């Protein structure tokens, strides 16, 4: 019985998905002969048996060094009705707090703490407060400068708007700040956004070095996934969470499909479904969306 689907996706700027690669993947996982082309030379679906999961590591090894992702999902409930996505290094290419710090001239100091936090080496809330405290007394105008650096990752709009067009509820959640999430949510078309509040002394036009309480961290991200699923009557199996850092792990593990997107090593070790070579378009392909159904292009 073909209980699983292997989705092969090529990074369009680097390579194409040729027949030899498709055959290699199909044979490695004992997949079906009948495949579905989701995007010519870019993405295909291959139905696979229950034994595919144990064979997947061998396929990943065979594809190593190539700009191709191979993601295995269950046939059932592929189309997700709730999306909860991280922002920094997921929807956007930036770590927005690091960018803010760079404009303040203390970028390296804060980036070091960020890296340790995203790798799970530091408690998230403690690391956030420590980084924000270093910004005390800097002009709040630096926020606008940092915003000008923000770049959406390829496929971000397509992922959000395609899922929304097909009835999914979409939420952006970040351990960063509402100053950025509100704007990114607007650009992509998220239904809602959640993040921490960076406190500003409006009279002086200065950052106070403080955040609002409580700090939005990994447990809050998980709680949001569960709350939104309940509010919108979406079974957890029909939810998608996507992120890259250690603070995303609880929601990635709980969602019906948790996608590690160009993730930190600690996340890759814990989450089986990974996008390591390609863009956020892959989050649509693994749900069975053909490119002809994409919105927001």
Q: Active-site residue numbers?
A: 86, 88
Q: What is the number of residues in the chain?
A: 297
State the Cα–Cα distance between residues 97 and 129, nearest whole angstrom.
12
State the Cα–Cα distance between residues 184 and 122, nearest whole angstrom.
27
State the Cα–Cα distance between residues 167 and 144, nearest whole angstrom.
34
Considering only CA atoms, which of 260, 239, 240, 257 is closest in space to residue 249?
A: 260
| 210 CB neighbour count, 10 Å cutoff | 16
State the Cα–Cα distance between residues 70 and 39, nearest whole angstrom.
15
Residue 92 exposed, middle or buried by CB count within 10 Å (0-12, 13-18, 19+): buried
Half-sphere exposure at residue 70, Cβ-oriented, CA atoms within 13 angstroms: 28
The first and second tokens of residue 166, run together, are 């097909």
Break the chain down into helix, strand, coil percent, rounded to 5.
40, 25, 35
State the Cα–Cα distance between residues 3 and 47, nearest whole angstrom.
7
- All residues at 6 or more sequence positions from 160 whose CB lies less than 8 Å from its CB, including other chains: 83, 85, 170, 188, 189, 190, 296
């Amino acid at each position: 019985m073909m209980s699983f689907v292997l989705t092969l996706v090529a990074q369009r700027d680097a390579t194409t998905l040729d027949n030899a690669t498709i055959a290699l993947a199909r044979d490695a996982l004992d997949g079906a002969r009948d495949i579905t082309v989701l995007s010519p030379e870019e993405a295909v679906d291959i139905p696979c048996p229950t034994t595919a999961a144990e064979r997947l590591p061998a396929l990943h090894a065979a594809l190593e060094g190539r700009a191709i992702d191979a993601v295995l999902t269950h046939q059932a409930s592929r189309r997700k009705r709730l999306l909860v996505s991280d922002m920094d290094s997921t929807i956007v290419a930036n770590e927005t707090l690091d960018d803010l710090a760079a404009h303040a001239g203390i970028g390296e100091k804060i980036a070091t703490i960020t890296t340790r936090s995203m790798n799970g080496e530091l408690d998230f809330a403690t690391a956030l407060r420590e980084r924000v405290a270093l910004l005390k007394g800097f002009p709040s105008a630096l926020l606008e400068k940092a915003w000008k650096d923000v770049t959406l990752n390829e496929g971000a709009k397509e992922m959000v708007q395609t899922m929304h067009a097909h009835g999914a509820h979409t939420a952006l959640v970040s351990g960063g700040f509402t100053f950025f999430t509100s704007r990114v949510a607007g650009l992509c078309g998220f239904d809602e956004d959640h993040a921490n509040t960076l406190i500003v002394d409006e009279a002086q036009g200065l950052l106070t070095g403080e955040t609002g309480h409580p700090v939005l961290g990994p447990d809050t991200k998980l709680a949001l996934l569960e709350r939104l699923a309940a509010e919108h009557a979406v079974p957890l199996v029909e939810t998608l969470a996507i992120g890259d850092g250690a603070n995303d792990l609880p929601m990635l593990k709980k969602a019906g499909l948790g996608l590690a997107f160009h993730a930190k090593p600690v996340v890759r070790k814990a989450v089986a479904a990974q996008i390591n070579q390609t863009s956020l378009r892959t989050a649509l392909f693994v749900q069975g969306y053909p490119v002809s159904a994409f919105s927001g292009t």
